[in-house]
Every structure is written in C-alpha cells, then in structure tokens.
Chains A and B, each alone.
Chain A
Amino acid sequence: MASIRQNAYSELLPDFRNMAVMARVLVAVNVAALTGTLYATPALGPALERFVYAAAFLEPLLLIELMVLYAVSPFFPRFTYWQGAAAIVGLTCVLAAMYHAAVRSVAGGDAMPSIVRTLLLAIVVAASLLAYFRLHSKAFSPALAEARLQALQARIRPHFLFNSLNAVLALIRRDPKRAERTLEDLADLFRTLMADARQFVRLADEVQLLERYAEIEHLRLADRLRVTWQLDAAPLDALLPPMVLQPLLENAIYHGVEPGTGVGDVLVRIERRGERVHAAIENPHLEQGGQRAGNRMALDNIRERLALFFDAEARLETRIANGRYRVEIEIPYRRA
C-alpha cells in the first residue's frame, strides 16, 4: 500500500495557514532584526531606536508576505519540496523588491538602503526559516513513525474471533475443560494483540502464541488443519517485533486451509542462519479469487512494520511453487 509509505511527511513545506507557523515566522524575523541591530550598534539605547525604525520598515512587508503565502499555500502540494521552497524564496524577493520600490517613492531615496541589500536579507531570512521548518518537521517524524506503527499493529480477523467464540460456546457443555483452555488461549492472543506495538518480544513467546493460535484453529477445523512445526533450530532468545508471525499463520490457514475441502498442510519453520533469523510459513496454494487483496494487505502491513523496526535489514518474500504458497521472513538476530 503506497499510501502508508509517506516519506513525504518530513518533506512537506510549512503550512502557512497554521497560526503557529505564522507566529513562528513573525517572532523569528523580529528576533533576527533585533539581533542584527544590537550587533551593528554598540550602545543599547540607539540600538533599540534603530530596531524600532527597522521594524517599521519590516513589519508591513512581513504581514504582506504572510498574507500572500496564506493565499497561495493551497498550490504547494502540487510541487516537490524543492520547487516549493524555490517558489517561496522567489516570491519573497519579488515582494521585497516591490515593497522597497514603494517605500522609496514615498520616503525618498536618501534614507533607503540599497535594493541589493534588501534582497540579500530577504533571501537569507526566507532560506533560513525554510531550513528551520524542515528540521522541525524532521525532528517530529519519529512521532509520526510511532503513530504509523500503532496503526499498523496487526489485527486479528473478526471472522476468527466470532468463529472461535462460537466454537467455545459449543464446547462449554460437552467439554468444559477444553472450553476453559480455549478461552485462556484467546485471552493470551488478545493480550499480545493489545500490547505495546513498539516493544520487541522474545521468539519463545511468539512461538508459544503461534501454538495457542493453532490450537484454537484446530478446534474449529479439526482434521482439516495439520500444522507441522520445525522449530529445533529456532533461536528462542531472539528478539522480534510483536505479532509478525501470527498474522502469517492466520493468513496461511484463512487462505490455504479453510477454503479447501481436503486436509490442509501448514508448515512453520524457524531457524537461525548465522546472524539472521529465518522464518518460513507454507500452506497449500488454492486457486481462489477474491482473497488475494486481503492477503497482500496483511503482508504489506508486516513488511512495513519490519522496515520500521529494522530498516533495510529485514526481508519478506513470498513464493508460489509446486502448489504451495510460502512466505519467508529474515531479520537480524538480536539476543534478548
């Protein structure tokens, strides 16, 4: 899903219709002017006087500039960041030049600094403010990443929840012990699901979760589901993001076992390969339309979460061969 990959977020131009942005611009420009006059004039009194003089020149230009930016800001999303930034600097120059000329015609040329100086100052101030806003949005992007992570947190299908509850209801009278165990498994599953999406979990815990999940599915599907576990070489102390493997197993059963009339063989293999943890989940590939979209979305979701945790160091691949559908994940081996 391309829409989730919004790297563009940190590359957005400031929103000139946002009051906070306008206030920051006003304060920053005035502080710059004050600093400039304090530096240029040794005594405090005359310096303040000069600042007031400068502000009288500066403030109207600043307000006009902000109003113009307010008016044109809806067009910015059409441009790339750098095009937009160039447009803003250019606009500032044009406005400054026009303003300069207007003031000169009213106040007379003698009191005025040269136009080159005005333009240079305008460019420097506009560029530094743009740089400031860029840094600012970059600094805040971890918050965005976190929000994305929360939004991407795996969800168990409602289909599974309601069918499982129904299966438990069927058990309560005939086999209360098993009903109890199933509810405990469900509770564990949902506890993990609602846990903090940012915290790594131990592979041992994730494997236990997989087994509990498979147990519940087994109750519903009985002989139609056969899961083979190959976990002897699994590094149980490895750390991985939560709920990465469970959705894969859920997908395998939802797409590879439930729609089939025969027995569905699912394979779960986790092993350490040098400094990497490798997991593969395999299920029968059934020729069934209409379900691919859901599957791809779940995979994109996991891929995205792996990227947020491991950047480019994680890998997720799918393969269809010999009537089997196979998902493979590889992540760096990090010990608990």
Chain B
Amino acid sequence: MIRVFIADDEGPARERLKELLEDIAGEVPTELAGEAANGVEALERLPASNAQVLLLDIRMPGMDGLELARHVTALENAPAVVFVTAHDKHAVEAFDLNALDYLLKPVRAARLAAALKKAINVGAPQRENLARAAGGPREYLSVAERNRIVLVPVRDILFLRAEQKYVTVRTKAREHLIEESLIALEREFTGTDLPYPFVRIHRNCLVARAAIRGFERTGGGEEEAHWQVVLDGVPERLPVSRRQWPTVRELIAERP
C-alpha cells in the first residue's frame, strides 16, 4: 500500500484523483494519507500523515506547489513528489530540465499508476532541483522542528547570519536555525527587484533592506573604526565589513 497525500485547491480535482486511485488499486494499491486545499494546510497535515507520495497541484492560493515542495524536503521522511498541473508551460519546462515528475490534468489512470510506481522508487526530490525549477524566491523559510514544519515568512526576517553549520534566521520575535547555505540564500534573496530584498553586509550576514534603521560608527582610537547596522525592533548591532561598506551605503542611499 502506497500512502498518498493529495494537495489541490479545487475540490473536483481532488475527487477526480481519488477516483483514479481507486481505479488503479488493482495495479498499484494505495491508501489516502490525507488531503489539503492549500499549501499552508498541506504543510500542517503532511508530517503526521506519513505520506510516501505527494500529489501536488502547482497553482494553489497562499503558497504554490513548487514552494510547498521545497519546504516538504525539510521533513525527516520527506515524501516523493508528483506535480499535477493543468497548463503551466514554464513549470513543465522547469520540471523536464530538473528531473521532476509531473502529470497533466486531466490525469489519465495509466499515467498516474506509472508515476506512483516511479515515485516510490525515486523517493523525495532533490532540494537543488526544486530550487532551480522554482525560478523565484520563496515566501517562507522552513524550519523542521521535531515532526512539524515551522514557516518563517521572509518579510518578517530581519537578518540571516551564518554560524558554524547553520544559518540563524532572526525575526523580531525569535531566532531559528536552518540548514541552508548563506551563499544559496544570498542568490535567492538579494535581487533588487524582489519584494523583500536583502543585502550582504558581511561575509557571514545578509540583512533585510527594509529592516535597516541606520548606521553607527564605532571603534576609533587604537581599534580601527567600522560601521554597524542599527536594526528596527531589535537591539543587536551588526558589523558591516570594510569590503561591503561601499555597496551597502550605495544601496541605502537609493532607498526612497
């Protein structure tokens, strides 16, 4: 029995998939591990469902399927993912390029059976492949805590700082640790055309541009003087490296 979880915002589409799963039960026995009508709901229900395969619609309100899949990989026993889409040329091209499996709506029973068998063998998708297929930055970062996924909205993040093996995610309320590389995060979140852009102020630190309240000069005398970022809402000061200072100053000057 393969445990299948269905995430689709359209009721009839979920019904249809369930019907098809029943139809192919002789060939591929499955049981329904759960279902959800949007991305956030799916992330709440998935960890406890012990799903092995996630049938995932791409266009969903709140959080789209591609971003959801990226958070799901943070789970310890992450399910395999089969994307389902009605018509999304860009996504389909991205899937083909990055070895991700997908089905086109309306789904055929035979295709569904083949996809499930394949998914069980292949297992959870590679995080890098999902990131490349997504094309845009995530709206949340995800932290796996025991057996649940905590979503941290990117717009709430003040800064990201690399520690030994982890990256600290600081929001006004608290800190989280995530297992991602600062370099990959920089690539994802520092574009100037992003809704919540970050800027690198130091080898180990990215700061949300919107969170910067000002700069303070410290040191002098014996010690070499340097600049520090003063943040909105938290007392921490973050040092700006000499190398990054000109870039940071320029970016801030551009701010309306």
Using a CB-CB cutoff of 8 Å, which residues 66-93 of chain B contact chain A? 86-88
Measured between beta carbons, the chain B residues less than 8 angstroms from A259 are: 61
Contact with A along B34-51 (1 / 0, CB 8 A): 000010100000000000
Measured between beta carbons, the chain A residues less than 8 angstroms from B233 are: none
B105–A222 CB distance below 8 A: no
Chain B, Cβ-Cβ closest to A289: B195
| Total contacts A-B at CB 8 Å | 60
Name which of B5-13, B24-32, B198-206, B242-250 contacts chain A: B5-13
Query: Complex formed: what's the CA distance from A136 to B62 in Å?
Result: 56
B13–A163 CB distance below 8 A: yes
Q: Whole-angstrom distance from the CB of A182 to the nearest CB of chain B?
A: 10
Query: Complex formed: what's the CA distance from A219 to B87 in Å?
Result: 18
Interface of A is mostly: helix
Known: A162-B86, A170-B15, A174-B15. A221 touches B104 (CB 8 A): no
A5 within 8 Å of B by Cβ?
no
Residue of B12, B19, B87, B136 with most chain A CB atoms under a 10 A cut-off: B12
B106–A162 CB distance below 8 A: yes
Query: Complex formed: what's the CA distance from A219 to B16 in Å?
Result: 13
A170–B87 CB distance below 8 A: no
A163–B86 CB distance below 8 A: yes
Query: Complex formed: what's the CA distance from A184 to B15 in Å?
Result: 21
Known: A163-B105, A170-B19, A174-B15. A261 touches B195 (CB 8 A): no
- Interface size of B in residues (CB-CB distance below 8 Å): 22
A158 within 8 Å of B by Cβ?
yes
Contact with B along A278-296 (1 / 0, CB 8 A): 0000000000011000000
> How big is the A interface, by class?
20 to 34
Interface of B is mostly: loop
B59 within 8 Å of A by Cβ?
yes
Measured between beta carbons, the chain A residues less than 8 angstroms from B104 are: 162
Measured between beta carbons, the chain B residues less than 8 angstroms from A171 are: 12
Query: Complex formed: what's the CA distance from A290 to B135 in Å?
Result: 12
Residue of A161, A162, A169, A170 with most chain B CB atoms under a 10 A cut-off: A170
Measured between beta carbons, the chain B residues less than 8 angstroms from A224 are: 9
Chain B, Cβ-Cβ closest to A290: B136
Measured between beta carbons, the chain B residues less than 8 angstroms from A170 are: 12-13, 15-16, 19
Measured between beta carbons, the chain B residues less than 8 angstroms from A260 are: 61
Measured between beta carbons, the chain B residues less than 8 angstroms from A220 are: 10-13
* Further 4 A-B residue pairs, CB within 8 A, beyond A162-B105, A174-B15: A158-B87, A159-B59, A165-B106, A289-B195
